[in-house]
C-alpha cells in the first residue's frame, strides 16, 4: 500500500520551515495554506485483506452484503468513479481538471464475463448503492448506464458504460465508513472520516491490468474555515507501506506542454529531513488565469423549452498561449438528466444562420437518451451527454464585455404533482479549450495525471485541455440550475381542467375516435358489397 499526500501552495503565500516538524515516526504540519490531495494505492492482494487507508483513516471495507468488494472488482475490466461537489471551489495546477457536479461512474466489464451465467450483473449497482446512496437510480449497467462514443477500441480511454446522478454530498459514504471501521467510543476516528465530507472531489480507480485500486481526494482549502492545514501524518504501523508527503508550488515551465513543480519531499519514517525537489512533466490539463470565467443561467420563464445560456468573460475567449502551430477550439460538455434533453437533429444542423444565432459551431458527440417523444417515466437510463464546439467572437466583436452562447433544450413530460410544478436540477457543463499537442508528448508520465472524465476521451490522446473557471453570481450559489417545470396538477378542483375530467375526457375521445373508424370501415364494406351485387346483376342481365 502506498499513500501520497501533496500540498500545493499558492505563489503569493510564503512558507517557513517552522511550519513542519519531521520525526522518525511522523510529519507535523502547522497552519499550511495550501490545496491538498491525498492518494492511496492498493494492490489486488491487499483488497482481499481486512483494511485499507483513505483520508488518514484505516478502513474495514471487506464485505458488501455478503460479497467481498474484490469479488465485484474482478468482474470489471475498469471502474472509475468521479464525484465533485455542487459548491464552487478552486482547482489549482496540477489539479485543474473538472467534471460537472455529482457522481460519475465509468465502467467496462471483463470480456470473458460477457456471457457467463454466474456473473452478477447487478453487483456493481448494489455496491454503489451501499457505498454512496441507497436510492441511487442504478439497477445494472445494461439497464441504467449509457454507452458513450469510443474513438478507438484499441487505445480508447473511454469506458464502455457511463452512469451519472446528481449526488449533493458524501454523507452516506462517510456513514458507511464510520459504521464499518470506527469503534463507538473512538471519537478521533469519527472526526478523521468526517474529513471526507469536506472534499471538493473524490476519485476511485480500478483496472484489471494493474490489479490496483487507487482512491484520492482533493481539498482546495482546509475545512471548517481554518487558516491552514494543521495535522500530524504518521508512518504506517509495522512499516506496511510507504507514506510520501510533498509540499510543492508551481514554477514557470520551459515548455508550454509541461508543468513544473518545486518544493520539498519526504517519506515519513525513512527520511530525516525534507528534501528539496524540482521536476517537470508533460500534462494534458493546464490552468488558465483566474479571470477566465463562465456562468450558466436559464432565461425565465423556462417553460417546456428552456434555453441554457453560457456567459464567458472576454479573457476566457482568448486562445491559450501554447505552441504557435497548435489548433485550439472552445467546447462545452453537458451532462443532462433524463428530464432534460437536446434535439440532436436540431443541434447537428449545418444551417449557418441557426448556429450563428446561438454562437455554436457544431455538435461533436452525443450519447444517452435522445428520444424526442418519450416522457420521463419511459426513459430507462439516467440521461445524456453532449459535446458542443462553441464559437468565439471575431475581431470586430472583441470589444464585447461578455460572450453568450445559447443552447436550446427540451423538457420531457414529468409525473403530475399537487402543485402543478416539479423541480429539475441541471448541473453546469464543463467548458474548456481543447488544443493539439506536439507528436510524441508522453502525457502518462504525469504523476498527477487525471483521465476518464467522460469528455477528454472524445479527443485524441495527444490533446491538451484548458478549463474555464465556473463563477456563480453569488458566493452561496451552486453550480446547479434549478428549473420549475409545469406538470399536470393532481389536486382536484372545480372546473374543466381537473385531472379526473381530463382522464375521462381522453378516454371518451379515444372511444369516439375508435367508433368513428369502425363506422367508416362499415360504410366502405357496405359500399363494396353493393357494388359487387350490382356487377353481378349486370352480368346476369347481359347473359340473358
Instruction: Quick: pLDDT tens for 75-123.
Output: 888 899 999 999 999 999 999 999 999 999 999 988 765 444 456 778 8
252 or 193, higher pLDDT: 252
Q: Taking the alpha carbons of 225, 226, 227, 232 in that order, is the dihedral positive or negative?
A: negative
User: Which residues face 161 on adjacent strands?
Assistant: 107
Residue 413 sits in the same domain as residue 364: yes
Look at residue 5 and tell me if it is in a domain.
Answer: yes
Query: Residue 59: pLDDT band by 50, 70, 90 thresholds?
Result: very low
Lowest mean pLDDT segment, chosen from 136-140, 178-182, 247-251, 264-268: 178-182
Question: Residue written as cell 470586430?
Answer: 396
Regarding whether 524 and 395 lie in a shared domain, the answer is: no
213 and 322 fall within a common domain: no
Q: Cα(118)–Cα(333) distance, rounded to whole angstroms?
A: 37
396 inside domain: yes
Instruction: Name the pLDDT band for 195 (thresholds 50, 70, 90).
Output: confident
Specify whether 197 is located in the same domain as 176: yes
Report pLDDT for 277: 95
Q: What is the pLDDT of residue 532?
A: 67
Q: Which three cell numbers stand for residue 521?
A: 370501415
In a domain, 387, yes or no: yes
Instruction: Give me the half-sphere count of Cα atoms (radius 13 Å) on the Cβ side of residue 156.
Output: 19
Instruction: Tell me which of 218, 249, 272 is where a domain ends.
Output: 218
Residue 530 contacts by C-beta under 8 Å, 6 or more apart in sequence?
Answer: none
- Split at pLDDT 50, 70, 90, the class of 163 is very high
Do residues 269 and 312 share a domain?
Answer: no
Q: Can you tell me the mean pLDDT for 241-255?
A: 91
Mean pLDDT of the chain: 84
* 148 — pLDDT class (breaks 50, 70, 90): confident
Lowest mean pLDDT, pick from 147-151, 225-229, 454-458 = 147-151
Q: What is the pLDDT of residues 336-387, one digit of tens each?
A: 999 999 999 999 999 999 999 999 999 999 999 999 889 999 998 999 999 9
> SS3 for 52-73, per residue?
EEECCEEECCCEECCEEHHHHH
> What pLDDT shows up at residue 84?
97
Residue 288 lies in a domain: no
* pLDDT at residue 43, as a whole number: 77
Q: What is the rounded distance in angstroms from the CA atom of residue 376 to the CA atom of residue 378?
A: 5
The pLDDT, as a whole number, for residue 499 is 57
Q: What is the mean pLDDT of residues 471-485?
A: 87
% helix / strand / coil in the chain, to the nearest 5?
25, 35, 40
Query: Do residue 351 and residue 456 come from a single domain?
Result: yes
Domain presence at residue 223: no
CB atoms within 10 A of CB 346: 13
Domain presence at residue 97: yes
How far is CA 331 from each of CA 84, 328, 458, rounded to the nearest angstrom?
20, 10, 11
Maximum CA extent, the chain: 127
On whether both 433 and 300 belong to a single domain, the answer is: yes
- In this prediction, residue 56 has a pLDDT band, given cuts at 50, 70 and 90, of very low
Domain final position from 218, 237, 272:
218
> What is the 3 state secondary structure string of 350-392?
CCHHHHHHHCEEEEEEEEECCCCCCCHHHCCCCEEEEEEEECC
* Cell 446512496 -> residue: 133
Its domain, for residue 515, covers 495-534
Asked if residue 539 is part of any domain, the answer here is no
Do 370 and 481 lie in a common domain? yes
**Are 330 and 434 members of one domain?**
yes
Q: What is the pTM of this model?
A: 0.85
What are the pLDDT digits (tens) for 483-526? 998 888 876 555 555 556 666 778 888 889 989 998 888 888 87
Residues 249 and 320 in one domain: no
Q: Are residue 28 and residue 45 in the same domain, yes or no?
A: no
Residues 421-466: tens digit of each pLDDT: 889 999 999 999 999 887 756 777 888 999 899 998 888 878 899 9
Do the domain assignments include residue 540? no
Residues 302 and 386 in one domain: yes
Total number of domains constituting the chain:
4
Amino acid at each position: 500500500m502506498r499513500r501520497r499526500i501533496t500540498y500545493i501552495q499558492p505563489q503569493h503565500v510564503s512558507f517557513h520551515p517552522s511550519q513542519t516538524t519531521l520525526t522518525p515516526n511522523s510529519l507535523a504540519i502547522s497552519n499550511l495554506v495550501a490545496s491538498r490531495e491525498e492518494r492511496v494505492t492498493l494492490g489486488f492482494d491487499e483488497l482481499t485483506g481486512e483494511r485499507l487507508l483513505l483520508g488518514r483513516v484505516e478502513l474495514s471495507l471487506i464485505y458488501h452484503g455478503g460479497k467481498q468488494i474484490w469479488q465485484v472488482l474482478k468482474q470489471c475490466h475498469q471502474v472509475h468513479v468521479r464525484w465533485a461537489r455542487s459548491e464552487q471551489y478552486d482547482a489549482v495546477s496540477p489539479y485543474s481538471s473538472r467534471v460537472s457536479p455529482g457522481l460519475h461512474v465509468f465502467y467496462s466489464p471483463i470480456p470473458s464475463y460477457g456471457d457467463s451465467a454466474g456473473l452478477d450483473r447487478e453487483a456493481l449497482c448494489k455496491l454503489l448503492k451501499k457505498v454512496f446512496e441507497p436510492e441511487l437510480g442504478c439497477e445494472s449497467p445494461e439497464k441504467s448506464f449509457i454507452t458513450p462514443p469510443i474513438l478507438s477500441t484499441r487505445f480508447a480511454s473511454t469506458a464502455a458504460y457511463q452512469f451519472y446522478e446528481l449526488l449533493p454530498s458524501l454523507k452516506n459514504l462517510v456513514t458507511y465508513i464510520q459504521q464499518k471501521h470506527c469503534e463507538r467510543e473512538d471519537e478521533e476516528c469519527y472526526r478523521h472520516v468526517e474529513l471526507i465530507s469536506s472534499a471538493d472531489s473524490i476519485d476511485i480507480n480500478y483496472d484489471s491490468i494493474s490489479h490496483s485500486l487507487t482512491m484520492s481526494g482533493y481539498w482546495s482549502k482546509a475545512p471548517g474555515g481554518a487558516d491552514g492545514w494543521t495535522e500530524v501524518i504518521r508512518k504506517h504501523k509495522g512499516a506496511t507501506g510507504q507514506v510520501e508527503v510533498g509540499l510543492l508550488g508551481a514554477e514557470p515551465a520551459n515548455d508550454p506542454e509541461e508543468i513544473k513543480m518545486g518544493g520539498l519531499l519526504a517519506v515519513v519514517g525513512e527520511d530525516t529531513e525534507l528534501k528539496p525537489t524540482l521536476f517537470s512533466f508533460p500534462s494534458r490539463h493546464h490552468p488558465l488565469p483566474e479571470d477566465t470565467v463562465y456562468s450558466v443561467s436559464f432565461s425565465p420563464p423556462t417553460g417546456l423549452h428552456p434555453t441554457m445560456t453560457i456567459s464567458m468573460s472576454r479573457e476566457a475567449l482568448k486562445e491559450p498561449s501554447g505552441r504557435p502551430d497548435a489548433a485550439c477550439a472552445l467546447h462545452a460538455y453537458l451532462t443532462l438528466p433524463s428530464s432534460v434533453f437536446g434535439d440532436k437533429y436540431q443541434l447537428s444542423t449545418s444551417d449557418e444562420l441557426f448556429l450563428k444565432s446561438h454562437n455554436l459551431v457544431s455538435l461533436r458527440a452525443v450519447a444517452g437518451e435522445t428520444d424526442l417523444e418519450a416522457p420521463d417515466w419511459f426513459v430507462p437510463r439516467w440521461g445524456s451527454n453532449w459535446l458542443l464546439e462553441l464559437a468565439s467572437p471575431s475581431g470586430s466583436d472583441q470589444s464585447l464585455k461578455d460572450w453568450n452562447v445559447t443552447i436550446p433544450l427540451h423538457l420531457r413530460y414529468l409525473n403530475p404533482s399537487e402543485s402543478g410544478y416539479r423541480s429539475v436540477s441541471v448541473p453546469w457543463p464543463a467548458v474548456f479549450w481543447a488544443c493539439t499537442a506536439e507528436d510524441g508528448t508522453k502525457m502518462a508520465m504525469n504523476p498527477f495525471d487525471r483521465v476518464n472524465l467522460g469528455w477528454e476521451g472524445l479527443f485524441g490522446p495527444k490533446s491538451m485541455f484548458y478549463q474555464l473557471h465556473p463563477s456563480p453570481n453569488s458566493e452561496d450559489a451552486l453550480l446547479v440550475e434549478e428549473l420549475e417545470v409545469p406538470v399536470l396538477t393532481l389536486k382536484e378542483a372545480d372546473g374543466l381542467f381537473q385531472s379526473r375530467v381530463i382522464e375521462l375526457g381522453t378516454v371518451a375521445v379515444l372511444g369516439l375516435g375508435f367508433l368513428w373508424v369502425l363506422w367508416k370501415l362499415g360504410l366502405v364494406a357496405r359500399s363494396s358489397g353493393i357494388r359487387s351485387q350490382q356487377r353481378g346483376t349486370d352480368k346476369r342481365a347481359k347473359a340473358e
